[in-house]
Amino acid sequence: MPGYFRKKIFLCVLAAIFILAVVNWSTFMLLSRTNVGIILNIHDMSDLYGHRVDRPHPTPSQAKESRKIIVTGGAGFIGSHLVDRLMKQGHFVTVLDNFFTGNRLNVEQWVGHPNFQIIEHDISRSILLEADEIYHLASPASPPNYMLNPIQTMKANILGTYNLLGLAKRTKAKFLLASTSEVYGDPEEHPQSETYWGHVNPNGPRSCYDESKRAAESLAYAYHHKEGVQVRVARIFNTYGPRMQLNDGRVVSNFILQALSNQDISIYGDGTYTRSFQYISDLVDGLIGLMQSNVTKPVNLGNPNEFTINQLARLIRKLSNSTSRIVYRPPAVDDPKRRQPVISRAKSQLNWSPKVELVEGLQLTIKAFRAELQNEANFHRLKALGIMYAQRE
């Protein structure tokens, strides 16, 4: 009998441990994906696996050069990689994000660092802060996200830009606008240089993003010419890498997710449309280089190597060791047929050009996606196991 009770107690304790683990993990995931809390500044932060995160502190020489930098959308894909670089350079970084598409997990390694703060804020409302530099990246950027909420997209790109330019004017901060290759629309000129005015449908399903970015550029240059604000405009072409949302609907993330799941890889259209894909570290190099330059004209930041969607699908399938079939769906409305940047301005004035080839970048991205899918699978297995033990009791 005593042995029976010991076994019963052991099973109860084991079940309780699993349930507590599931509750704690679920709470953490909920906080990371919902709008809870205004400013996160928690000390003694560990990574998702409980290990201490080594976070560099600025050297004395770095401290002298440290700047107060605001990054809007800093919990997003591009923004979080930019934040990593700025923090490692020893700057004081404030992230503004409303977490519509951003994720706290992208910047969790910096929470608690004395040089870092993250503020939950919608940039369509003004805010009082001090800054030496402002990187304005906040906006839904994938077609499914901005088509889902076109009004929020336009508010971020127009009202948000207006508010941040006002902040830059007051603080005399340099202002960098993350614009987009979408300002060229479905281009009639190929490849696209910064002097091309574009071919944009003002009423199409993508217009909320395309036209609001064009308006944001106009606002930036109005403040530059009339108010003396130092502006930089980066026209960003297709960018990929770790921390992309698994289900954000863009072609690279779609293909990788489908390939790793051995599902059909869906191509919309006949696959002959082209894109140019740059790896995230190359873009971060370009953004920082542009901010530190004296270039006020728009600058294309993209990889000039052009690939068809068919080529991309086959390459991702090969690198993923996938058994997926490639299938063809009806083409998307207003999808640009060709996209390729001319980067001579970035080369000559920023000394910038992309370094990461597509194969290398995709290998790194596939590895990150595979790890994230495994983490999600482990979480769901743990959750199911905890529920199973709870039901047994």
Q: Which residues are catalytic?
A: 209
SS3 189: coil
Please choose, from the candidates 79, 82, 81, 110, the residue with its C-alpha nearest in 3D space to the C-alpha of residue 97.
79
CA 300 from centroid of its chain's CA atoms: 18
Q: 387: exposed, middle or buried (C-beta count within 10 Å: 0-12, 13-18, 19+)?
A: middle
The residue behind tokens 């998307």 is 332
Determine the Cα–Cα distance for residues 301 and 181; give it in Å rounded to an integer. Answer: 9
Report yes or no: 226 and 62 within 8 Å, Cβ to Cβ. Answer: no
In the chain, the amino acid numbered 30 is L
Determine the Cα–Cα distance for residues 30 and 36; give it in Å rounded to an integer. Answer: 9
State both tokens at 85.
């670089």
Residues 77/139/29/361 CA torsion (nearest 10 deg): -10
Diameter of the chain measured on Cα atoms: 87
Length of the chain as a residue count: 393
SS3 277: coil
- Phi, psi dihedral angles at 153 (to 5 degrees): -65, -45
Instruction: State which H helix or E strand residue 379 sits in.
Output: helix 358-392
Determine the Cα–Cα distance for residues 233 and 345; give it in Å rounded to an integer. Answer: 12
76 in the Ramachandran plot: left (φ > 0), alpha (ψ -120 to 50) or beta?
beta
Quote the DSSP letter at residue 188: S
Rounded to 5°, the CA angle 247-257-96 comes to 35
Q: What is the DSSP string of 79-123?
A: HHHHHHHHHHTT-EEEEEE--SS--GGGGGGGTT-TTEEEEE--T
Residues 196/202/208/214 CA torsion (nearest 10 deg): 30
